[in-house]
Every structure is written in C-alpha cells, then in structure tokens.
Chains A and B, each alone.
Chain A
Amino acid sequence: MQGGTAAVERVFREEYGRLIASLVRRFGDIDIAEEAAGEAFLAAVEKWPESGTPPNPGGWLTTTAGNRAIDRIRREKQRDARHQAALMYRDDTPDEHTGPVEDDRLRLLFTCCHPALAPEARIALTLRLLGGLTVAQIAHAFLVPETTMAQRITRAKKKIAAAKVPYRVPEAADLPERLGGVLAVLFLVFNEGYLATGDGDPVRAELTGEATRLTRVLRQLLPEEAEVAGLLGLLLLTEARREARVRNGQLVPLGEQDRAGWDRGLIAEGHELVRECLAINRPGRYQILAAINAVHTDAPTASDTDWSQVVALYDQLTRLDPSPIVALNRAVAVAELDGPTVALTLVDRLPLTGYHAWHVARADMLRRLGRTAEAKESYDAAIAATQNSAERAYLSMKRGELV
C-alpha cells in the first residue's frame, strides 16, 4: 500500500499547520498537539488505504487528533496532578482576548515569532509547526546538525510552555512592532518553498502558497503597513513565475523562462501593490525587493529588462541593508548592465564562499568571460553547495556544456 501511504502523507503535510494550530488553541500545549497529530497520521495510514480517503480529510485528522489528545490528558490527569494544573491554562474561550486576528495559524505564527525566542528558533518553529517540515529538513536548510536543530526546537517549545508565551495575536498597539519578525519568518518560509532543500520536490508549492496566504491575511488586517504590502507584492511577483521556473526537473533561470507561462493575474496584483507602496513613500526592504521584481515582470522579454532601474533599486536597498547577500544580487544585475568583468570584481571581494549563490554567480560570469577552467571549478563548487535538486540539475547541464 505504498501509494496509499504517500497519499496520506501528502494530505497530512497540507493539513499540518492548520491541524497543529487548532490543537494548540484547544489544548494549550504544543507537545500534546504534535503528539496527537502524529497519532492521527498513523491512524490515517492504517485506515485510509483500505476504507478510502474521507471526504473531508482535514476534518477527519482534526477530530481523530482531538480524541487522541483528550485520551492522553485523561491518562495524565489520573497520574499527574501537577500536569493537570498546567493544562488548566488552556484557551477554552477562543473568542476572547485574541486580538484582532481570528485565524488559528496566525496566532500560532505570532507565538512562533515571539521576540522572547531566539531568531533562529522562530524560523525553525514556524517551519516545523506551520510548514510541517521535519527536524531533519529544517536542520538541512540551516546547515546545522540535526541534533542541534532538535535541541533548538525543544528548548524553544519548553520556553513557550514554562514562561507562558501567549498563543495570541498581539493587541493593535503592539502589532506593528511585532510585525517585522513575522514578515522575516514568512519570507524565509516562502524561500524554503521556492528553492526547497532536500531530495524531494525542488519547489514546494504548499510552502510558497502558505506563506502567501498568511501574508494576504496580514495585509487585510494591516492595510496601512507598507512593508506588509511590499512583502505580499514580492511574494506574488515571485510566485507568478513558479510554474515557468522548473522544466523537466531542471531549474530555468529568469532570463530563459517562457514568459507566457507566468501568471498574469498575480503579476497584475503584484504591480498594483508596488504602485501603492510608491504612493505611500515609506520605502522598506520588502517594498524595494517587490519593486525589483516588478521591473523583471514588466519586461516582455528578458532583453527588455531595465537593468539600470534594477541596479538603482539595489543601490537603494544597499543603503538600508549593506549585507554581502544584497551586494551579490546587485553584482548579478551589474553584470547585465556593465558586463561580467566589472561584476566579477564586485563578487570576488564578498565573504560568501560558503553560499551556493555566490558560486553560481561566479560560475556564470567566468563562463561568459571564456575562463572555462575556472568556470568549471565554480560550477563544481556551486553543485556541491546547492541543496535543491532542480538547481543541481541545471548547474550540471551548464557545467557539461563547457568544453
């Protein structure tokens, strides 16, 4: 019944964030929620292949997991009075004290992105609890050993329980301040979906879709926040190219994509958001990145791209965020405007030798300069450093073309 199990796995992963969030609200405990979700998954693996997938698989999982959690609490109530006391702090009245947002996943998102947690723990928890990634996948994405990541997540969950980090969207007055951390996490979740790590699908649409969906809800709630509009614009303009981005398991770079395959509806929506941001005139990181993507999606063909505009926007971004990664992306645009010689000089002085995109950019510039032997070395380094199967396939093809 291998096929049956795979179908259950797919449904489970799609439903995971919603399932965990509703269980956390109901039982006020992340560990109970995760364990109950795991048991519901095992029950589904046992039953669905024989009796067929239920008409509402998400509802089935929620009911089954809820029953398992109640069973566990009953068992523990009998033998552990202290745990019983802890469980009395649960949100039995979900409609009170919940702030302006009523979506379970958003509450869990604000819990996962709480400023009392370490930044790396916020991202890990969000990917684990809302994205449904395994600890191994998250460890891989952050280039740390699995035991380190497991400890990080366990420690964060323990702090949430012991220090009582609330499961709640902040009150309106605190919302803007807490927002920056949430936006950063949503962007990272999107990126993990857009350039997925691991040996599975090179693009995980459920993660890009989830990040986009949560950003849309944030946008409805905070229509005045320019950076929320900026992030949503950025995600939509990136998501619009998703279908054209992989062909036959191989990554297709922006310049070589079939632009007829881009989602015009998402592009129109993204452009509207960018125009709105320009009118607000309070530029921020996500708004500038959205504007860069608006320039790309505005060009009918790759050669129509207004590269001077792209470089100007990266200059503006550099003033806000003078990081080497921004400098690398700027250099890639400079290569189109001023040629690979100028760009390679910029790239070579960046301290990014452990970053696959640095090797990819160098390989491409060296190839264009006809420095074939060095280009081959750079492609090899890029292939070794990348963790995305489609990108590896593309780089191997480019490497193979060099003679």
Chain B
Amino acid sequence: MTHYLLTVHGPAETDEYGNYGSKEEMEEAFAATGAFNDKLRADGYWVFAGGLQPASTATVVDGQGETPVMTDGPYLETKEVIGGFWVIDAPDLDVALELAAEGSMACRGKVEVRPFDGLA
C-alpha cells in the first residue's frame, strides 16, 4: 500500500458560497464530500482529510536564521490555491486516480494526486 496526497485546487478568491455558486450548491458539495469521506473510511482508504481556511490566513515562517522571520500570506501568491486535501492509503495509482476522480466530482474541484515518499 502507498500513501497518496490528494490536494484540491481552486481559486484563491472566494465569495460567500466558497465559489460553489449558491447556498444550495455549496450544501450539495459538502454533502457529497461527506458521503465520499464516509466511503473512504468504510473501504479502508482513509488516513486523514480536511478543508483549509483561505490562503490569506496563512503565515510563512523562515526559521533558518537566528530569529524566525514571519511573513503574512501564502508561500506563493497564486490565483489558484490548495483548498483542502485527503491523505489516502491505496494499493496502486489506478485506485488512487479512481478515488481522486470521485473526490473531484464530490467537492467540485481539480484534484492533484501525489505519492508520499514514505511516512514518518
């Protein structure tokens, strides 16, 4: 089994409905994502998952010098950012890609699949 990071990418600027369009559509996406999470748990793929606050709430810390340097905002200023992620444990890439497609459909965003180089 291999661990894969599934990151959801979407626009950095979001409106009050998280760019889902309307309250109803946002609630539908949340429900679909919840159902997908339940399925990941039931099928044994689940490791961890979560949605993230907007990138504007991020802080970059550089602790390599004598005193840590803090910078407000995300590491990269981009129009598209990571909005949430899953960590799954899957037997191979085909399974990971299939789950990513289901997750993408559920949360209504593009999903990047990237294997872990081992876990600590």
A interface residues with partner B (beta carbon < 8 Å) = 82, 114, 116, 162-166, 168, 170, 174
Residues of B within 8 A of A114 (CB): 93
- For the complex with contacts A162-B117, A168-B92, 15 further pairs of A-B residues with Cβ separation under 8 Å are A116-B97, A162-B115, A163-B4, A163-B93, A163-B96, A163-B114, A164-B2, A164-B91, A164-B92, A164-B93, A165-B92, A166-B92, A166-B94, A170-B94, A174-B94
Interface pairs A-B: 6 shortest CB-CB: A166-B92, A163-B115, A164-B92, A163-B93, A165-B93, A164-B2
Kindly count the residue-residue contacts between A and B in the assembled complex, taking CB atoms under 8 Å apart.
28
Question: In the bound complex, how far is the Cα of B96 from the Cα of A114, in angstroms?
Answer: 14
Cα–Cα, bound, A164→B118 (Å) = 13
**Bound form: Cα–Cα A174–B101 in Å:** 14
Q: Give Cα A174–Cα B113 distance, bound, in whole angstroms.
A: 19
Q: Taking the nearest CB of chain A, how far is it from the CB of B45, in angstroms?
A: 14
Distance, CA A114 to CA B113, complexed state (A): 15
26 A-B pairs with CB atoms under 8 Å apart are A82-B118, A114-B93, A116-B93, A162-B115, A162-B117, A163-B2, A163-B4, A163-B93, A163-B96, A163-B113, A163-B114, A163-B115, A164-B2, A164-B91, A164-B93, A164-B115, A165-B92, A165-B93, A165-B94, A166-B92, A166-B93, A166-B94, A168-B92, A168-B94, A170-B94, A174-B94
Q: Which residues of B contact A166 (CB under 8 A)?
A: 92-94
Question: B52-65 toward A: CB 8 Å interface, digit per residue (1/0)?
Answer: 00000000000000
Q: Please, how many angstroms separate the alpha-carbon atoms of A93 and B17 in the complex?
A: 50
Smallest CB separation, A156 vs chain B (Å): 13
Q: Bin chain B's interface residue count.
A: 10 to 19
Minimum distance in angstroms from A88 CB to a CB of chain B: 11
Shortest distance from the beta carbon of B89 to any chain A beta carbon, whole Å: 12
Interface of A is mostly: loop
List the interface of chain B (C-beta within 8 A of A).
Answer: 2, 4, 91-94, 96-97, 113-115, 117-118
In this complex, what residue of B is CB-closest to A116? B93
Max chain A C-beta neighbours (<10 A), residue from B4, B97, B114, B117 = B97
Query: With the chains together, A170 CA to B94 CA distance in Å?
Result: 9
CB distance from B46 to the nearest CB of A (A): 18
**In whole angstroms, what is the CA distance A82 to B91 when docked?**
18
Residues of A within 8 A of B118 (CB): 82
CA distance A114 to B4 in the complex (A): 18
Question: In the bound complex, what is the Cα–Cα distance between A78 and B114 (angstroms)?
Answer: 29
What is the CA–CA distance of A136 and B115 in the complex, to the nearest angstrom?
31
Measured CA separation A164–B94 after assembly (Å): 8
Complex CA gap A170/B114 in Å reads 21
In the complex, chain A residues whose CB is within 8 Å of the CB of B114: 163
Chain A residue, CB-CB nearest to B1:
A89
Residues from chain A with a CB closer than 8 A to the CB of B94 are 165-166, 168, 170, 174
Among A164, A165, A166, A170, the one with the most B-chain Cβ atoms within 10 Å of its Cβ is: A164
A3 to B106, CA, bound (A): 64
Chain B, Cβ-Cβ closest to A171: B94
CA of A168 to CA of B115 in the docked complex: distance in angstroms?
Answer: 19
- B103 → chain A, closest Cβ, in Å? 16
Whole-angstrom distance between the alpha carbons of A162 and B113 in the complex?
12
Q: What distance in Å separates the Cβ of B57 from its nearest Cβ neighbour in chain A?
A: 31
Give Cα distance in the complex from A163 to B92, angstroms.
7
Residue among B94, B113, B114 having the largest count of chain A Cβ atoms under 10 Å? B94
Cα–Cα distance between A313 and B85 once the two chains are bound (Å): 50
Contacts of A170 in B (CB 8 A): 94
Whole-angstrom CA separation of A162 from B92 in the bound complex? 10
Could you say which residues of chain A place their CB within 8 Å of the CB of B97? 116
Q: Chain A residues near B2 (CB, 8 Å)?
A: 163-164
Chain A nearest CB, measured from B49 CB (Å)? 20
State the CA gap A165–B95 with chains docked (Å).
10
Chain B residues closer than 8 Å to A174, beta-carbon distance: 94
State the Cβ distance, A176 to closest chain B Cβ, in Å.
15
Chain B residues with Cβ under 8 A from A168's Cβ?
92, 94
Q: How far is the CA of A166 from the CA of B93 in the complex (A)?
A: 7
Report the minimal beta-carbon distance from A269 to chain B, rounded to whole angstroms.
Answer: 34
Task: Kindly provide the distance from the CB of B80 to the nearest chain A CB, expressed in whole angstroms.
Answer: 21
Shortest Cβ gap from A227 to chain B (Å): 22
Q: How far is the CA of A166 from the CA of B114 in the complex (A)?
A: 15
CB distance from B69 to the nearest CB of A (A): 33
B32 to chain A, nearest CB (A): 22
CA A350 – CA B54 in complex, angstroms?
50
A209 to B119, CA, bound (A): 46
Provide the bound-state CA to CA distance between A114 and B118, in Å. 23
- Closest beta carbon of chain B to A314's beta carbon, Å: 37
Q: Which of chain B's residues has its CB closest to A160's CB?
A: B93
Chain B residues with CB under 8 A of A163: 2, 4, 93, 96, 113-115
